[in-house]
Amino acid sequence: LTSVRYPYLKRGNYSKLTDQDVAQFERLLPGEQRVLTDPSDLEGYNTDWLKICRGISQLVLKPKTTEEVSDILKICNEKKFAVNPQGGNTGLVGGSVPVFDEIILSTSLMNNIISLDALSGILTCQAGCILGNLNDHVSQHNLIMPLDLGAKGSCHIGGNLATNAGGIRLLRYGSLHGSVLGLEAVLANGEILDCMSTLRKDNTGYDLKQLFIGSEGALGIITKAAILCPQKSNTVNLAFLGLDSFNDVLDVFRDSKKHLSEILSAFEFLDSESLKVCTSNLQLASPIAQHPFYILIETSGSNGTHDEEKLTQFLETLMTVGKVKDGTVAVDDKQMQHIWGLRERVAEALLHDGYCYKYDVSLPLHDFYNLVLDMRSRVGHKATRVVGYGHVGDGNLHLNITSPSYDEEVASLIEPFVYDWIAERRGSISAEHGLGFKKRHYIYHSKSRSAVAAMKAIKHLFDPNGILNPYKTLPDD
């Protein structure tokens, strides 16, 4: 079968579901709403957050336990059904929805918090817990989750692990490769791989859990994790500043590390077009006048007076030397949330333009913003807008281009130009969102032939029948 939606792609040689198969899954998952087959119920599971990728799955399965995941995968592996693991379905690269009729295995009912050791800060939970709920839970014990992202209200921790999600706290707490202490996954053949250590230090043998962090559902279904949660800071400050040039953004970043040092907890940037999309498409108000660039500097520490003094002094110096033209410091939680909204809701605001061409790249900082400028002059007025924003403190740019609907001419001006541009500067074509369905064929722009060959060998070892998330992450042979 050649898909009419993806005419260049052939469905793999997977089995097709029969009524008997569905009945077998129903026996396995008794109770209400655990086996979905009604097309209207399936619509949301088949469609990604960007409303760009659409599958035609006829079955969603909602296990509650690791053992149920194992039983499902045993059947799928034996009968050769393709499986699409799905968490909160907030992924941005088409990895979370089926390409054809893969069975969707949703972790939405695997949402138990198993334990929290308030002394060590170690949380253990099932993969389907929503990130925001976990943060609310641990904050009652004076802890925070080591990651935070705009999709926190819907994304699952299992999805975060599977994508190795970055977000706005990475600058301070590092990536999930460091904060995940233990992980449990079910392999394609149903075998349960128990790597649920809760130790800070554990060098006994290969660190297998790392393979699953960022594996995008291709090596196994993540079912549980143990995560090290940092202490919640007594005092958090947030400044929103307007700057004249991207060079000033970089200078202020360098100075922030030097002068704010241990209290610096986030450093994010938006260009004027990114802010404009929030003010015009979401009617959010900007707290300061218009400038070419904006930055958010967050500090988190234990001594309010000390932190405020340090930040105020730093900001005064920046204003005096002219690196910062204008700015405001949030005085309460409401203002803080409003300012974070201007940064975290750009992705949502862009969708109001129509179609969004999305690029998530790592680049050396001296080249960072030139990609936006080059893209702008390349597509000119053919696009509605070209915006650049993101985690500048991590060297991670979000380049987004929009048009009223998908436009072949705009698309061909962007790709492969954008990937070649990044490869020439030895950047990464996927900083934090993964490759999913959309970007897998560009992997060689960032990874060597030998590295991709090793990835394929690992995939074959863990999933010899290729049932887990086919057509994603790795390129075809």
Instruction: Supply the minimum distance, in Å, between the C-beta of residue 439 and ligand 2HG.
Output: 13
Residue 358 near which of ligand FAD, ligand 2HG, none (CB within 5-8 Å, type-dependent): ligand 2HG
Q: In 430-447, which positions are buried (b, 16+ CB within 10 angstroms) versus exposed (e)?
A: bbbbbbbbbbbebbebbb
Using CB under 6 A as the criterion, what x/- string covers residues 310-349 for binding ligand 2HG?
----------------------------------x-xx--
Residue closer to ligand 2HG, measured from CB, 82 or 336 = 336
Residue 398 near which of ligand FAD, ligand 2HG, none (CB within 5-8 Å, type-dependent): ligand 2HG
Instruction: Supply the minimum distance, in Å, between the C-beta of residue 413 and ligand FAD.
Output: 25
Positions in 253-312 near ligand FAD (CB under 6 A):
none
- What does the alpha-carbon distance between residue 388 and residue 359 come to, in Å, rounded to a whole number? 10
Residue 49 near which of ligand 2HG, ligand FAD, none (CB within 5-8 Å, type-dependent): ligand FAD
- What does the alpha-carbon distance between residue 298 and residue 9 come to, in Å, rounded to a whole number? 45
Can residue 400 be called a binding residue for ligand 2HG (CB under 6 A)?
A: yes
Residues paired with 405 in a beta bridge: none
Among all chains, which residue has been given the structure tokens 């800060």?
A: 121
Q: Cα dist. 113→59, 119, 162, 215, 310 in Å?
A: 27, 17, 18, 23, 38
Residue 216 near which of ligand FAD, ligand 2HG, none (CB within 5-8 Å, type-dependent): ligand FAD
The residue range among 60-68, 79-87, 255-263, 407-415 that interacts with ligand FAD, by the rule CB under 6 A, is 79-87
Instruction: Supply the minimum distance, in Å, between the C-beta of residue 55 and ligand FAD.
Output: 11
Residue 218 makes CB contacts below 8 A (sequence gap 6+) with 459, 463, 468, 469, 472, 473, 474
Residue 107 near which of ligand FAD, ligand 2HG, none (CB within 5-8 Å, type-dependent): ligand FAD
Among all chains, which residue has been given the structure tokens 């730093």?
A: 314
Instruction: Supply the minimum distance, in Å, between the C-beta of residue 287 and ligand FAD.
Output: 21
Can residue 89 be called a binding residue for ligand FAD (CB under 6 A)?
A: yes
Can residue 162 be called a binding residue for ligand FAD (CB under 6 A)?
A: yes
Among all chains, which residue has been given the structure tokens 């129509």?
A: 354
* Strand-by-strand arrangement of the 35-36 sheet: 35-36, 60-61, 103-106, 83-86
Q: Is 64 left (phi over 0), alpha (psi -120 to 50) or beta?
A: alpha
User: DSSP for 194-247?
Assistant: EE----S---SS--THHHHTT-TTSS-EEEEEEEEPPBPPSEEEEEEEEES-HH
Residue 390 near which of ligand 2HG, ligand FAD, none (CB within 5-8 Å, type-dependent): ligand 2HG
Residue closer to ligand FAD, measured from CB, 87 or 427 = 87
Can residue 390 be called a binding residue for ligand 2HG (CB under 6 A)?
A: yes
Which amino acid, one-letter code, is at 170?
L
- What does the alpha-carbon distance between residue 337 and residue 324 come to, in Å, rounded to a whole number? 22
Can residue 398 be called a binding residue for ligand 2HG (CB under 6 A)?
A: yes
Positions in 135-154 near ligand 2HG (CB under 6 A):
150
Number of shown-chain residues binding ligand FAD (CB under 6 A) = 37
Measured at CB, which residue is nearest to ligand FAD? 159
Residues paired with 436 in a beta bridge: none
Among all chains, which residue has been given the structure tokens 């594996």?
A: 215
Residues paired with 299 in a beta bridge: 237, 264
Residue length of the chain: 477
Structure tokens at 28: 């396995």
The correct pick among 155, 239, 249, 315 for binding ligand FAD (CB under 6 A) is 155
Using CB under 6 A as the criterion, what x/- string covers residues 90-109 for binding ligand 2HG?
--x-----------------
Cα angle vertex 255, ends 254, 259, to 5°?
130
Q: Cα dist. 363→93, 267, 419, 429, 430 in Å?
A: 19, 16, 12, 9, 10
The correct pick among 156, 169, 358, 472 for binding ligand 2HG (CB under 6 A) is 358
| Cβ–Cβ under 8 Å, residues 111 and 128 | yes
In the complex, the residues that contact ligand FAD under the rule CB under 6 A are: 49, 84-92, 95-96, 107, 127, 149-151, 155-156, 158-160, 162-163, 165-167, 216-217, 221-222, 347-348, 432-433, 436, 469
In the complex, the residues that contact ligand 2HG under the rule CB under 6 A are: 92, 150, 344, 346-347, 358, 360, 390, 398, 400
